[in-house]
Structure 1
Amino acid sequence: MIRTLKVRLYPNRYMMKVLNKLCDYRRYCWNEGLATWIDMYDLHTIDSTNPRPNVYSVRNELVTNKADWQYQLSARTLQLAISDLGKAWQNFFDKTQLDWGKPRFKSKKAVRQGFKTDRAKIVNGKLCLDKPHGIKTWYDIRINKHEDLSGELKVVSVYRENGKYWASLPFEMAPKSKLLTNQNTAVDVNVGHLNYTGGLINTLPNHLIRLYQRIKLYQKQLAHKRVINGKKANKSNNYIAVRAKLQRDYRKVTNIQHDLIQKFTTKLVTDFDKIVIEDLNIKKMQMSHVASKGLQQSLFGYFRQVLSYKCEWYGKEIVLADKYYPSTQRCSKCGHIKKGSDKITLRGNAKHHTRHNEYICYDCGAVLDRDTNAVANLLSLI
């Protein structure tokens, strides 16, 4: 199995320049490859005797026309960029793919810039990239301490984001298994908290809410500066300082939320053998103006992603409830399902004047907590 670790890189000034050049070179190869692919396809449509473009023909065309400066950079950057471009074209003909669409040209203004290599190694706890021919000065890159740097290293993704450097290290290793507990649970995701049979996990604690309020303030300040100064706004020192504070708080928010999700999912796969969650269409839910920001901040999609791969790692089973399963509207005592004007919404029920966290069954008279009732209904699917 493949286990990917995200690590922070701490390059020196020389290697920082090398990483920046490789990021730019990856973007250059992608754009040149995409332009060549489109031109070759146009020639094929005009004259069918011309071959259809593919990964090998486009790659050979770019290698043949390499300039002198390209030989000072890793050749694997070009090879892997064209390989990814071929996969992007394959996905374009499969409309079931997430974020389906035609491959686009990369912009140098994008927040994240990166490259890939399959020649990297971990030597003495440092990342060693492949050195091009003719380059004498070269250094290993220090990474943050991590205990799981073991296994066969596959294709490494290195990227720069907001002035920081990161690497995704995929290791091929044997799967680990945790002891079976013969216990099952279900997780009901809500805006601001996650409910399961063991209680409640708050995903929006007070210190996180304060960070979001500060982020909102910084966003207003930047928007005001752009309105006043126009295109020259991002050149002022004050604008750059506020933007740095905004990026800093976003990193804090991400670290706090990911830490909460990682610890909670680890607890789930350690204490339980089967875990039931809802198969929610997160993107469609976020398109609505109702609680869309709360959905984004609660990390529903990230929770499912992390839980899925941890269950695969440790040999536990994850059960997906159908997206139309009425876990909130069904009574866990008698099985009665609320319909029409009796349904519970985010604001409760206007007809019966009940709160959003109350579930009152008008068939058997049970009075339950809404989230506890949803967890019980999900648990009944096992």
Structure 2
Amino acid sequence: MTGKKIIREKGYKFRLYPNKKQKILINKSVGCTRYVYNHFLSKAKEDKYKTYTEYSKQLTQLKRELMWLKEPDKFALQNALKDLDKAFNNFFSGKYDFPQFKSKKNIKNSYRTNKFVRKSGTTNIEIKDNKIKLPKLGWVKFSKSQKVKGKILNVTVTKTNTDKYFISIAVKEEIKKFPEVDKKIGIDLGLKEFAITSDGEKKANPRVLNKYEKKIARLNRSLARKEKGSNNWYKTKKKLAKVHEKMANIRLDFLHKFSTKLIEENQLIAVETLEVKNMLKNSNLAKSISDVSWSKFIEILTYKAKWYGRDLIKIDTFFASSQLCNNCGYKNEEVKDLKIRNWKCSECGKVHDRDINASKNILDEGLKMQKAS
């Protein structure tokens, strides 16, 4: 059985290797887009926000006054205005707070440029082997770990605070849905094990923070001893940023590999949603909860399920998955105590592994919700 095809917008991320001249222009482009965003945000705060079209006209005049704004490609500056327009629309709709000024101290500084086709048929963005052609920059080397499929829409160039450069290529791609399978699974998320499935698998928690916690503490102590703003202070700060960057990459790699496996093998996935913000208030568990990245995992599962034609059912956090006997339905409220890892049902005598039992209940609840919808 062949899967149906659907069109989705998708992003490809690669490490970029600009030469010295290209690095200078990227840094200038990042600075110019930040200046444009902050300049028109300041004008909006002084008076009131106007429209993207009005600010676009004012940008043309501003470029005549400030010649250095002509160095980056025009799309980068226009997109800064579009980002500001989106930020204000989100504010007016009540989704987010009033827009904030952009700072050089951001973890990532970036600009976005758009692809367009000239009358001659040539384009300002194209890929050949391990090089990408970008406006004003020309051909730049990048680490092409996979083939870029689909129609390129735009490219975001990012410089991290560890002085690395990346590109995110947004495309409109035809994605083939996976063939349907019979398997269905329930997932209980945890701290000791990252995930426990209804078929008995226990996926180990990578515990990334544990591996680097001592190194982070040492670098933080070293940073505290140095004069803020000095060369040695910046060197140590960069080392610390590299450790955090490595940790983030390890976590993300784990989440992508595990989520892809689940999506490939299962037609229906039921997973319990968790009130992470509330759980972080527990000072004893806050570090472990932040490290485990449950919210990011659910986010990745959600869009992959949509892309590949799988059913993802999210179970309410208040569902008593751990307390219910999966065999007879008896509710044992004593299991609220997290120290209880195994328990015997007083009604039917079934002995349960706390987490496997919970994942089976999550699957059953997911199947009920699917049937009712």
**2:304 aligned partner, one-letter code:** K
**2:173 aligned partner, one-letter code:** M
Tell whether 2:287 aligns with 1:305.
no
Q: Secondary structure at the match of 2:53?
A: helix
Q: How does 1:265-304 map to 2 (within 5 A)?
A: 265-304=259-298
What is the rounded CA distance, in whole Å, between the counterparts of 2:175 and 2:335 in structure 1? 44
Task: State the partner residue of 1:188.
Answer: 188
Task: State the partner residue of 1:200.
Answer: 202
> Following superposition, which runs of at least 4 residues in structure 1 exceed 6 angstroms of deviation?
none
Q: Secondary structure at the match of 1:65?
A: helix
Q: Secondary structure at the match of 1:174?
A: strand
What is the rounded CA distance, in whole Å, between the counterparts of 2:68 and 2:157 in structure 1? 21
**Would you say the 8 A contact 2:196–2:202 is kept in 1?**
yes
Q: Post-superposition shift, 1:168?
A: 1.4
**Would you say the 8 A contact 1:114–1:157 is kept in 2?**
yes
* Structure 1 residues 203 and 122, CA gap change in structure 2 (3 angstroms): farther
What is the rounded CA distance, in whole Å, between the counterparts of 1:365 and 1:220 in structure 2? 55
Task: State the partner residue of 1:214.
Answer: 215
Report the TM-score when normalising by structure 1: 0.84
Q: Post-superposition shift, 1:208?
A: 6.0
Q: Which runs of 5+ in 2 are unaligned?
A: 1-7, 116-123, 368-373
What is the rounded CA distance, in whole Å, between the counterparts of 1:78 and 1:5 in structure 2? 22
Q: How does 1:155-174 map to 2 (within 5 A)?
A: 155-161=154-160, 162-174=162-174
Q: Post-superposition shift, 1:127?
A: 2.3
Q: Secondary structure at the match of 1:221?
A: helix
Cα RMSD for the two superposed structures: 2.1
Q: How does 1:1-382 map to 2 (within 5 A)?
A: 1-41=8-48, 53-66=50-63, 67-95=66-94, 97=95, 100-119=96-115, 121-124=125-128, 125-131=130-136, 138-161=137-160, 162-192=162-192, 193-196=194-197, 197-204=199-206, 209-223=210-224, 225=225, 229=226, 232-237=227-232, 239-339=233-333, 342-346=334-338, 348=339, 355=340, 357-381=341-365, 382=367
* Structure 1 residues 359 and 19, CA gap change in structure 2 (3 angstroms): farther
* Structure 1 residues 179 and 251, CA gap change in structure 2 (3 angstroms): same
Q: Secondary structure at the match of 1:201?
A: strand
Q: Secondary structure at the match of 1:117?
A: strand
Q: Secondary structure at the match of 1:173?
A: strand
What is the rounded CA distance, in whole Å, between the counterparts of 1:296 and 1:148 in structure 2? 33
Q: Which runs of 5+ in 1 are unaligned?
A: 42-51, 132-137, 349-354
Q: Post-superposition shift, 1:217?
A: 2.8
* Structure 1 residues 208 and 85, CA gap change in structure 2 (3 angstroms): closer
Q: Secondary structure at the match of 1:301?
A: helix
What is the rounded CA distance, in whole Å, between the counterparts of 2:16 and 2:169 in structure 1? 11
**1:108 aligned partner, one-letter code:** K
Q: Post-superposition shift, 1:185?
A: 0.6
Q: Post-superposition shift, 1:361?
A: 3.2
**1:199 aligned partner, one-letter code:** E
**1:344 aligned partner, one-letter code:** K
